[in-house]
C-alpha cells in the first residue's frame, strides 16, 4: 500500500490522448516498415517524432520522465534511420571501416542509452539521497 506522502504523477487527459496517438503512429510506422510500405512508413516518421519531442518538452521539469522520453526520442530517431536505410537500400552499404548504413543508427541509439545511463548512475542516486535526507 502506498503511503499518503508518496508523490503522485498525474497526466492531464489531453496529454494522455496525445501519448496514445503517439503509440498508434509508432505502430503504423513499424508495421509499414515490416510490410515494406515505404511511403507510409516514411510519412509516419514526422508525427511519431513530433509527438515524442512534444512529450519530452512537456515533461522537462521531471528529470526521470525527461530522461526516459529523450531516450524514446533517440530510439525512434535511430529506428527511423534504420528503416530508411533499408527502404533506400543503403543498410548494408559499407561506409567506413566496415560500418554500414544500418550501423549508423547506433549513434542515436547510443545517445538514448547514454542519457539513461547518466540518469540511473548519476541523477537518480542524487535524487534518492535528497529524498532520504528529507524523510529523516
pLDDT single digits (tens) 52-65? 999 999 999 999 99
Mean pLDDT of the chain: 92
Q: Domain tally for the chain?
A: 1
Please check whether residue 6 lies inside any domain of the structure.
no
What pLDDT sits at residue 42?
Answer: 97
Please check whether residue 2 lies inside any domain of the structure.
no
Please check whether residue 74 lies inside any domain of the structure.
yes
What pLDDT sits at residue 2?
Answer: 57
Please check whether residue 4 lies inside any domain of the structure.
no
Please check whether residue 117 lies inside any domain of the structure.
yes
What pLDDT sits at residue 74?
Answer: 98
pLDDT single digits (tens) 85-109? 999 999 999 988 999 999 999 999 9
Please check whether residue 77 lies inside any domain of the structure.
yes
**Is 19's pLDDT higher than 70?**
yes
Q: Mapped to the 3 state alphabet, what secondary structure does the chain carry?
A: CCCCCCCCCCCCHHHHHHHHHHHHHHHHHHHHHHCCCHHHHHHCHHHHHHHHHHHHHHCCCCHHHHHHHHHHHHHHHHHHHHHHHHHCCCCCCEEECCEECHHHHHHHHHHHHHHHHHHHHHHHHHHHHHHHHHHC
User: Which residues form the domain of 115?
Assistant: 13-135
**Is 127's pLDDT higher than 90?**
no
Amino acid at each position: 500500500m502506498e503511503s499518503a506522502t508518496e508523490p503522485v504523477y498525474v497526466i492531464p487527459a489531453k496529454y494522455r490522448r496525445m501519448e496514445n496517438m503517439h503509440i498508434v503512429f509508432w505502430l503504423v510506422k513499424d508495421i509499414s516498415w515490416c510490410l515494406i510500405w515505404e511511403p507510409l512508413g516514411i510519412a509516419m516518421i514526422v508525427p511519431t517524432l513530433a509527438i515524442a519531442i512534444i512529450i519530452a518538452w512537456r515533461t522537462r521539469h521531471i528529470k526521470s520522465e525527461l530522461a526516459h522520453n529523450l531516450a524514446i526520442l533517440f530510439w525512434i530517431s535511430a529506428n527511423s534511420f534504420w528503416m530508411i536505410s533499408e527502404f533506400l537500400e543503403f543498410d548494408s552499404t559499407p561506409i567506413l571501416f566496415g560500418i554500414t548504413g544500418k550501423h549508423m543508427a547506433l549513434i542515436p541509439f547510443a545517445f538514448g542509452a547514454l542519457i539513461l545511463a547518466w540518469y540511473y548512475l548519476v541523477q537518480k542516486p542524487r535524487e534518492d539521497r535528497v529524498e532520504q535526507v528529507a524523510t529523516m
